[in-house]
Amino acid sequence: MVDSASGNLLGNAPPLPAEKYADSPSNQSLKGKGPPSLIIAGGSIQSMLQQSDPVKINVDEIRSILELNSGDDNQSATNEKEELVKKSEPDETGSACLWKCLKCQKTHKGILQGSRKSIPNKIHVIQHWRKQLNNRINQKKLAILVDANNDSNVTYQELDEFSNCIAYKLKKLKFTGRFENHNPQGELVIAMCHPACYEYIVIILAILKLGAAFLPISYELPAERIAEIVKLTRPVLTIINAEQEDLFETVGSLVEMDVLLIDDIWGMLEKGVNDQSLIPFRDPIQSPDPAKPYPPMWKRTVAIAVVPSESQELQANSYDSRAFLNRMEWENHFFVFLTSEFVLAPPTYDTIDSLADILTALTVGVTLVVLASPNDFLQPDQLFSYCKTYKVRRLTMWPSLLRSCTFSMQLFEDLVQQVYTVRYWFVIGGLLRIEMAEMFFELAPPLALLVHMYQFEDCLGALAFHVYECGGNAQNQNFYSRLPVGFPVPNTDIYILGPDMKPVKDGNSGTIYLTGVQLPRLKKNELEKIASAAYLPNPFSNHKDRQVMIKTTDIGRITKRNGGTRVLIHEITKARYVQVSNQIVWLSHIEVYLRRVPHLVKKNHCICYRPHEEDQILVAFCVLAKGVTVVTVDEELRLCLPGLMVPEVISVKEIPLIPDSQIPDENSLLKMYQELRQEGKNFDNWEVLKIGDPHILRAAKILAYVVYTYLGIGIGELVEKLWNWPFVQLRHANMCKGVYIVKELHRNRYPIYIDDFLWALDLNAISVKMVEARKDRGFCNNRCPADEVLFVKNRYRLEVMMQNTRGTICSLLAKCFTQRDQLDYFAEVNYLDMRKFFDSTWPLFVSKKLSIVIRKKKEKNRVVGAVLCMSWHDEIKITSNAITPNVSYKIELIQFLEAGLTDEHFPQDRTNVLQICYLGLDASQLTSYEIHGLTDKIIRSMLIVSKVRGFDALVMIAFDFFSLDICVNTYDFLVAKECQVNQFVASDGTRPYELCPDSLVSAICWKPLSKIEETHSPEKKTVKHKTLTFAHEHKKPWNDK
């Protein structure tokens, strides 16, 4: 345990979380000679070391281990370490805590410590802002810039004066005795329920100057939910907008409260800023009861967040100044602000994270840009235009909005130029998928950094982060199967503990525990009063900021990335919640509201279909009372839940249970919902639309099914009300879903955009628009548009695959199939298995010179796709090259399809049949139009090649409905045999694809070439075969002529 030669404890300090901070000043100061070694004596330490003599411990070594390569000196952290070292009689809260922490670091057990940064001590966050305003910030500079309204722009001096004036006015108000009726925590709380605007920011500063705690309430919540929040927190005053008066009249009938209009507050200001506003407000409100005084200003609560918990109760979390100051110092230290920078204000101010963003921007002295409409933040085209106008350097968004922005950059190539100045892309609020990050890297500007921040429950802001550079090649980003959560933020520790509450070894999974400054504040002796079992005493530290740790519902592990740096990997979440538009939605809450209407719903259970995907859908299975319809339950839910929490209601006769238990069987419910979706796909009652034109009817069918897929609206119910359905909600209510719907319509070759839905009054109008747009772009008879063919022809070229492209093509095909092929996904085939498979079969595909590689002309002939072909007779040689059982399953499925073909016209001589075995296009480098154009060009080229090389037929095996539809409906292939994939039984007796949906079918498609070649004699075929040249020469037989 101890190096007897050097006297050093536990060897060297662990490495930095990020390499570029390895040579920070404080790190350099730790190098070299330190003070003399001290002697720590004590029974507990001696028993652990099994030594009878005192142990010599070097103070420098302890400091280097505990500080974990921090960038600044932290006086409080240093005091903590020195006190631990100087203890003469250690106990479980003293040196033993130190020893446990050191021991875990040495053995690489599950502890990640954030760097120890200094936090301004004994100062309120508003006092810290005033200090920066006086010392560092130019008070004539614009603090708030309101887009499209220059009259509302506010300088830093005006911001200070306006907030002073409002604070004086609020202090003089009489709150009908509610000052005496503070909330259970003894705090003065002022709530705000108002859309985002610049007045909101001014009033927030006034509330903080007043010494009150700020409570944000979303104006989109129903009255019943707001009443619950008011009962829990008891604000002395709630500031609202005139538009919320009707809502709060209903709230006032449920709970006693005082309301003040923001227009009345601003009216006080418009009467004239008196001399009093020029005097800094330094007299916060004091308690009217001398026996119960308020704490000093720096100890008061800054903000309160009411969050849902898995229990059926709301939970109020309080955050003090140290939490906000740590959050602000962390962002400015790692991602430095420029003094000339413009920062977009958050789209909503109903979370404490948005408050932290506002305070951070104002404290560093940048200009906040308040958008003209909060919905503009959800529309990538509008958001990107703001970035271009104000040269924005940082954007904060949630994963679904990042998907929306990435898809928009795919649809509109010019959008990438508008975000060329955006350096930091902060993604918070959920896990980020690898495929999404890779797609983003291919489209984003070259200097962009993707900062993946994971936000744990009940904490202020993100507690872990990881930075990825945009290098253009995702394979160089050291991705794991999941994107790492990363490293703890400063003054935060993350523990991975097992069931015995001991740290697990690195690489093993365990429950994630958190401790640090940004956790909710707990007062002395309040730990025993906490109803939740999530808050526990921290046995690994006795520092005042880390005396309590919180148990999350997340499972994770610590592993080493390339270079030896330890990072946190998030694996699963045990809690039944999902994130919708950056808001946590607990499924148990939906069930609670359904139980409150027993006259409508007898039993219910909620699930999430495809969680964390762009088409995730909340589904509620309900046993309805007699005479109650699904529409009635939906209307009732919309009265008491926000729109993002309203699920798709499914009526069932009984909720299936796990045998011998009362627990709902979610697997059965999920399968039931998949079957319902399949029924929706086969919906054929289109007569209710009364559309005569077949082209418009086809467009309406596709639109209905796409909307059904992404919004979770029952297909039958949707079709019945589709004539009057408000398509405008695709633009405003759920913008991210709207982008997915438009992208899917583009995939179906209807090139319309979100703005088109704004003017669509009904289904007929938007269907006609879809058909017109299709004609304008040259779509005809399901063929590729003329301009698309010309575009592909000019930018891409096809050439015969050569030996020197082996590594690139094997890697590209393995990536395509493991990430996008449904069969490989359900069979759990990984990238390495597919890479080995393509490497081993490479000679079979290259030797006959029948395979094709697709290159992009203007980018150094970069490979963007490949087609592996061979004679069908040679296919039997592949079976011996199957690397793993999961790969061999797919080969067995192909053999099953080929055995006993029922098509009597299918060629019996396999030597004269050319088979397209694998076709892969890198979707991260191609737009949807380019994919369609290249697919068309590839298949047409293969028809020509097979014709020239003397083959009788071209065979292609389709493994999904989309490929089958293209082969049959677009290129007139015949179906020789098909089967339902989930019914396939492998040679070992298993059903490897039993989890696949019933709609997934595989089929052998073939196209006879005899009719095409009947005018040519065999001699002419032979001549063509002898004189055939390839793309690396000059003649290209597969050009579209």
Tell me which amino acid residue 380 is: P
Percent of the chain's residues with pLDDT above 70: 65
For position 469, what pLDDT does the model report? 76
CA distance 308 to 316: 9
User: Confidence class of residue 362 from pLDDT cuts 50, 70 and 90?
Assistant: very high
- Estimate the crossing angle of helix 352-364 against helix 198-209, to 10 degrees: 90
Residue with tokens 């006879």: 1008
User: Confidence class of residue 500 from pLDDT cuts 50, 70 and 90?
Assistant: confident
CATH of region 577-654, choose from 1.10.1050.10, 3.30.300.30, 1.10.10.10, 3.30.300.130: 3.30.300.30
Q: Terminal CA-to-CA distance of the chain, rounded, Å?
A: 77
287 Cβ contact list (under 8 Å, min separation 6): 179, 182, 293, 294
Q: What is the pTM of this model?
A: 0.58
pLDDT tens-digit map of 505-523: 888 888 889 888 888 876 5
Ranked by mean pLDDT, the top range of 78-92, 185-199, 951-965 is 185-199
Ranked by mean pLDDT, the top range of 181-190, 342-351, 704-713 is 342-351
For position 970, what pLDDT does the model report? 67
DSSP state of 968: I
- Strands of 259-261's sheet in order across: 259-261, 237-240, 189-193, 213-216, 301-308, 314-320
Which backbone phi and psi does 164 adopt, to 5 degrees? -60, -45
Structure tokens at 84: 């631990």
Task: For the domain made up of 786-1027, give the CATH fold.
Answer: Aminopeptidase (3.40.630)
For position 540, what pLDDT does the model report? 86
Pairing of the two strands 548-560 and 535-537: antiparallel
Higher-confidence position of 303 and 32? 303
For position 808, what pLDDT does the model report? 84
Structure tokens at 403: 């998907």
pLDDT tens-digit map of 900-950: 665 666 776 667 888 888 888 886 677 655 776 777 778 888 888 887 888
C-beta of residue 111 within 8 angstroms of C-beta of residue 156: no
Say if residue 1013's pLDDT is above 60: no
Structure tokens at 453: 């921040």
Q: What is the CATH number of domain 492-573?
A: 2.30.38.10
For position 96, what pLDDT does the model report? 47
DSSP run (H or E) holding 605: strand 601-609
Higher-confidence position of 662 and 37? 662
Say if residue 110's pLDDT is above 60: yes
Pairing of the two strands 259-261 and 237-240: parallel
The residues that bridge with 426 in the sheet, in sequence order, are: 396, 451
Torsion sign across C-alpha atoms 625, 628, 629, 631:
negative
> Left, alpha or beta for 545 (phi > 0: left; psi -120 to 50: alpha)?
alpha
How confident is the prediction for the chain on average, in pLDDT? 71
CA distance 117 to 112: 15
Say if residue 866's pLDDT is above 80: yes
